[in-house]
Amino acid sequence: MNVLVVEDEPKLADGLARFLTYAGFHVSVVGTLAEAKRQLEQPFDAVLLDVRLPDGEGWTLIPKLKTLKPRPAIILATARGEADDRVFGLELGADDYLVKPIVLKELEIRLKRLVKQTDEISFGDMMVDARSRTVTDHGQAIRMTNKEYELLLFFLKHSGEALDRNRLLDEVWDYTFAGDTRTVDTHVKQLRDKLPTMKRYLKTVHRVGYRLEEVR
What mean pLDDT do residues 89-106 have?
A: 90
pLDDT in the model for residue 197: 96
Sequence ranges of the domains in the chain: 2-118, 124-212
pLDDT in the model for residue 85: 76
Strand order through the sheet with 2-6: 26-30, 2-6, 46-50, 73-78, 96-99
Q: What is the mean pLDDT of the chain?
A: 89
pLDDT in the model for residue 89: 82
Q: Do domains 2-118 and 124-212 have the same CATH topology?
A: no
Give how far Cα 127 sits from Cα of 7, 37, 133, 152, Å: 35, 32, 10, 11
Cα–Cα distance, 141 to 60 (Å, whole number): 36
pLDDT in the model for residue 118: 64
157-208 tens-digit pLDDT: 888 899 999 889 888 886 556 668 889 999 999 999 999 999 999 999 998 9
58-80 tens-digit pLDDT: 989 999 998 887 788 899 998 86
Q: Does residue 195 contact residue 137 with C-beta atoms inside 8 Å?
A: yes
The one-letter amino acid code at 146 reads N
Chain Cα centroid distance, residue 165: 19
Confidence of residue 108 (pLDDT cuts 50, 70, 90): very high
Cα–Cα distance, 63 to 52 (Å, whole number): 17
pLDDT in the model for residue 172: 86
Q: What is the 3-state secondary structure (H, E, C) of the chain?
A: CEEEEECCCHHHHHHHHHHHHHCCCEEEEECCHHHHHHHCCCCCCEEEEECEECCEEHHHHHHHHHHCCCCCEEEEEECCCCHHHHHHHHHHCCCEEEECCCCHHHHHHHHHHHHHHHHEEEECCEEEECCCCEEEECCEEECCCHHHHHHHHHHHHCCCCEEEHHHHHHHHHCCCCCCCCHHHHHHHHHHHHHCHHHHHHEEEECCCEEEECCCC
Terminal-to-terminal C-alpha distance of the chain: 32
What mean pLDDT do residues 82-96 have?
A: 82
Topology of domain 2-118, CATH: Rossmann fold (3.40.50)
What mean pLDDT do residues 6-35 have?
A: 96
Topology of domain 124-212, CATH: Arc Repressor Mutant, subunit A (1.10.10)
Instruction: Enter the pTM of the model.
Output: 0.58
- Is it the case that residue 50 has pLDDT exceeding 60? yes
Of the two residues 159 and 119, the one the predictor is more confident about is 159
Of all residues in the chain, what percent carry a pLDDT higher than 90?
Answer: 58
